């Protein structure tokens, strides 16, 4: 038996920003050996990912493509882990994996849907970021010329000077998003990668070009609201003959080997720059996760449970 | 010189249902001969179409694909007309045409974008309905199994018993559109043809199936509002990976001969049933047009200026 620190959801959070007190850290214990006859795997968690998509799981959800967290139990999400014991022929002790795991030091995963990490010359934490679900999501959505929007001057500078965006603006400082978009896109927007929702989507709809396309995979501005904001400019879909389509990266993981083949050389050559914001230790897990919704992180928010 | 009765827009109508007093009928006069050197055409208007899409043109529009009407001048729309005089080599005296014309007895059309009516064994009024822009719009949107929604018991009966809809409901009598849709589509909606907007769109989004498609060419529930209603359930586009795409029939008129080839035999065989609601005389034009937004018409609202 060893001790097992865990991050627990206290209660469902229906609306509003999650607070640090909505989560608590406790210490249980765990046998570092699979139960007799188990075909699951036992892992030691190395890195955990703070993702906006965890927010809906803090509500009581019905009929969604993800399950709610359970109050009183550890929350879960994407992580990088090391296999300690395996009853599954696909994994063996010592394997490094990424995928769904618990927010705790050690997890017993009964039905593992995990990717084995083959390219270990990359930082392991990249597998919950640029080489994992978020990177794959961006890859599925588009590959193109980009104007970015971020919530601080530092982030805007980062977009323009380090990450290679052609243009960027600070949405918190713009008195009128419509004006900001007109400035950045004097001839209109061909493609919008929707991760924000609300006011931004309404302003974008006004600035789309004829036959423009909107690829949607998230709406972070809506996750803390009890009732989503209304979108008022959908008539633009007709006027501009716009195609708007939602997607989930879940449907595209068969392309994952192709994605890695494309992206790893580009990271190595410095053509794609990746920025992480790493918090250390499960004690800091609540702060890291709730900070995400206030924009405290600069770059991909990662939690290092223990360093490999 | 002959007298020329005309239907005039009094002033822009920014919000609210148009009232009969927003329009007035007056009598001008017109020379029944083209001005010297004109390459336009002079027509006698036979049938005028009352279309929901005329409502936005009563506002002061900017940057739309149609122009606003001009207060003090006759309104315009789709009509069936007879050519009285032509300076354009494509048209000659006696031709029957359909397309954009004025709400008046005689119109001088300077840049004619009109279709010549070839199949004169069909009722002429059909060319502003099933054989014109509305029919062509439906053809472009989809050809499929259908559940309809209408605003009275008589209309619902018509949909089910005469027009061949598989199912239909009265949206004015349903306490909860979501429940109505669940009843009609226990396994969800594959394709929604959007002409309504507002609450109906929000309820439909909740009932779409994974990879469903929404084809949008109108939002009649929004045309009388100062500010469009907000749509709150767009997150369903992601959850269900829905494609939602606007279109305008304007982009597809190259398919018009194919459309006629498909639809005329079906009308003749009675496989497609078409219902018209014909008002007589320009005096009744305001009543016919404003009635459209209250659902007074049963079938396609047509105004017969004079019978051919």
Which CATH number characterizes residue B124's domain?
3.90.180.10
Q: What is the pLDDT of residue B185?
A: 94
Gap between the Cα atoms of A164 and B236, Å rounded: 32
Distance CA A42, CA B14 (A): 65
Measured between beta carbons, the chain B residues lying within 8 angstroms of A206 are none
Grade residue B142 by pLDDT with cuts at 50, 70 and 90.
low
pLDDT at A225: 80
Question: Could you tell me if B137 lies within 8 Å of chain A, comparing CB atoms?
Answer: no
CB pairs under 8 A between A and B: 96
CB contact under 8 A, A219 and B232: no
Q: Are residues A30 and A94 in the same domain?
A: yes
d(CA B275, CA B259): 19
Residue after which a domain boundary falls, among A250, A265, A289 = A250
Chain A residues with CB inside 8 Å of B233's CB? 228
- What ranges in A22-176 are assigned the alpha helix state H? 133-141, 153-157
Q: Tell me whether residues B232 and A232 touch, CB distance under 8 A.
A: no
In terms of domains, do B73 and B45 share one? yes
Q: Which helix (H) or strand (E) holds B199?
A: helix B198-207
| Whether B146 and B115 share a structural domain | no
Q: A141, A149 in Cβ contact below 8 A?
A: no
Whether B259 is covered by a domain: the verdict is no
Residues from chain B that touch A216, judged by Cβ atoms under 8 A, are 234, 237-238
Question: Of B250, B266, B289, which residue is a domain's last?
Answer: B250
In this structure, the answer to whether residues A176 and A197 fall within a common structural domain is yes
Residue among B78, B68, B76 at smallest CA distance from B12: B68
- CB atoms near residue A67 (< 10 Å): 9
Q: What percent of chain B has pLDDT over 70?
A: 97
Arithmetic mean of pLDDT, B2-16: 90
Give the closest of B216, B218, B228 to A232, CB-based: B228
User: Using the beta-carbon criterion (under 8 Å), do B234 and A242 form an inter-chain contact?
Assistant: no
Cβ atoms < 10 Å from Cβ of A273: 13
Range of the domain at A174: 139-250
B89 and B13 belong to one structural domain: yes
Residue among A35, A33, A40 nearest A88 (CA): A40
Interface test with B, best of A230, A233, A236, A251 (most B CBs within 10 A): A230
Domain for residue A260, yes or no?
Answer: no
Q: Hey, is the C-beta of A243 within 8 angstroms of any chain B C-beta?
A: yes
Average of per-residue pLDDT across B176-202: 93
pLDDT for the residue numbered B9? 92
Cβ of residue A216 closer than 8 Å to a chain B Cβ: yes
Strands B189-194 and B208-216: parallel
pLDDT value at position A159? 93
Nearest CA in chain A to B247: A241
CA distance B281 to chain A (A): 33
Residue A153 lies in a domain: yes
Return the pLDDT at A141.
60
Q: Do B229 and A229 touch (CB under 8 A)?
A: no
- The three-class DSSP label of residue B237 is helix
Q: Closest approach of chain A CAs to the CA of B13, in angstroms?
A: 19
Top pLDDT among B19 and A157 is at A157
Residue of chain A with shortest Cα separation from B219: A235
Listed range (A35-39, A247-251, B207-211, B273-277) with the worst mean pLDDT? A247-251
Chain B neighbors of A235, CB-CB under 8 A:
197, 219, 222, 228
Q: Strands, DSSP E only, in B196-291?
A: 208-216, 243-246, 276-280
Tokens 């405290």 appear where?
A296
Mean pLDDT computed over B6-35: 89
pLDDT score at A153: 94
Our CA-based measurement puts residue B86 at a distance from the nearest CA of chain A, in whole angstroms, of: 33
Nearest residue on chain B to A213, alpha-carbon basis: B245
A197 has a chain B CB within 8 A of its CB: yes
Total of domains in chain A: 2
B216/A237 CB distance under 8 A = yes
Same domain, B117 and B12: yes
Question: Which of B64, B218, B246 has its CB closest to that of A242?
Answer: B246
CB contact under 8 A, B232 and A227: yes
Rounded to 5 degrees, what angle do the CA atoms B261, B264, B268 make? 145
Query: Is B135 a member of any domain?
Result: no
Contacts of A234 in chain B (CB under 8 A): 197, 201, 216, 219, 228, 231
In sequence order, the 6+-apart residues with CB closer than 8 A to the CB of A31 are A1
pLDDT of residue B63: 63
At B18, the pLDDT band (50, 70, 90 cuts) reads confident
Q: Cβ of A201 and B234 within 8 Å?
A: yes
Which CATH number characterizes residue B196's domain? 3.40.50.720
CB burial string A144-155: b at 16+ within 10 A, e below: eeebbbbeeeeb
Q: Which residue has the tokens 């978009």?
A: A181
Q: Give the integer Cα–Cα distance in Å for A105 and B166.
A: 57
Q: Is A191 helix (H, G, I), strand (E, B) or coil?
A: strand
Q: Do A66 and A158 belong to one domain?
A: no
Q: Are residues A231 and A181 in the same domain?
A: yes
Contact (CB<8Å) A235/B247: no
Q: Using CB atoms, pick whichever of A231, A246, A248 lies closest to residue B230.
A: A231
Higher pLDDT, A65 or B153: B153
pLDDT(B87) > 90 = yes
Taking an 8 Å cut-off on Cβ atoms, the answer to whether B248 and A241 are in contact is yes
What is the distance between the alpha carbons of residues A209 and A190, in angstroms, rounded to a whole number?
6
Q: Do B197 and A235 touch (CB under 8 A)?
A: yes
Please give the torsion angle defined by the CA atoms of residues A262, A264, A270 and A271, in that order, rounded to the nearest 10 degrees. Answer: 10
- Boundary of a domain, candidates B211, B234, B250: B250
Residue B187 sits in the same domain as residue B168? yes
Domain for residue B264, yes or no?
no
Mark yes or no for CB contact A232/B233 under 8 Å: no
Residue B266 lies in a domain: no
Q: ipTM of the predicted structure?
A: 0.72
pLDDT at site B200: 95
Alpha helices in chain A (DSSP H): 133-141, 153-157, 177-184, 198-207, 236-239, 256-268, 285-291
Q: Are residues B83 and B191 in the same domain?
A: no
B284 located within any domain? yes
Put simply, the answer to whether B246 touches A238 (Cβ < 8 Å) is: yes
Q: Does residue A232 belong to any structural domain of this protein?
A: yes
What's residue B17's pLDDT?
83
Q: Is the predicted pLDDT of residue B233 greater than 60, yes or no?
A: yes
How far from each other are the two terminal CA atoms of chain A, in whole angstroms? 22
Assess B217–A contact: CB distance below 8 Å, yes or no: yes
Q: Of the candidates A227, A238, A243, which has its C-beta nearest B218's C-beta?
A: A238
Both B145 and B124 in one domain: the answer is no
Same structural domain, B293 and B219: no
> Residues of chain A whose pLDDT is less than 70?
63-65, 140-143, 308
């Amino acid at each position: 038996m060893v001790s097992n620190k865990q991050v627990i959801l206290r209660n469902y959070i229906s609306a509003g920003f999650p607070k640090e007190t909505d989560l608590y850290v406790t210490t249980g214990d765990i046998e570092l050996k699979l139960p007799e006859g188990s075909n699951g795997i036992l892992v030691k968690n190395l890195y955990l990912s703070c993702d906006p998509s965890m927010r809906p799981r803090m509500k009581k959800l019905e009929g969604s493509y993800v399950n709610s967290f359970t109050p009183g139990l550890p929350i879960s999400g994407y992580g990088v882990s090391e296999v300690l014991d395996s009853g599954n022929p696909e994994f063996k002790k010592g394997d490094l994996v990424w995928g769904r795991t618990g927010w705790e030091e050690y997890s017993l995963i009964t039905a593992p849907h995990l990717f084995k990490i083959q390219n270990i010359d990359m930082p392991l934490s990249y597998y919950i970021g640029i080489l994992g679900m978020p990177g794959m999501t961006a890859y599925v959505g588009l590959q193109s010329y980009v104007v970015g929007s971020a919530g601080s001057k530092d982030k805007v500078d980062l977009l323009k000077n380090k990450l290679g965006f052609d243009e960027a603006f600070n949405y918190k400082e713009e008195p009128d998003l419509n004006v900001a978009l007109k400035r950045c896109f004097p001839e209109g927007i061909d493609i919008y990668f929707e991760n924000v929702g609300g006011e931004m989507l309404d302003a974008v709809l006004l600035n789309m070009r004829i036959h423009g396309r909107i690829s949607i995979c998230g709406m972070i501005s809506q996750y803390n609201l009890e009732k989503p904001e209304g979108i008022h400019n959908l008539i633009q879909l007709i006027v501009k003959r716009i195609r708007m389509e939602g997607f989930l990266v879940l449907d595209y993981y068969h392309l994952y080997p192709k994605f890695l083949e494309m992206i790893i050389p580009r990271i190595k050559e410095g053509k794609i720059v990746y920025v992480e914001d790493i918090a250390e230790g499960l004690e800091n897990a609540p702060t890291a996760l709730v900070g995400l919704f206030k924009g405290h992180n600069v770059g991909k928010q990662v939690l290092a449970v223990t360093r490999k």
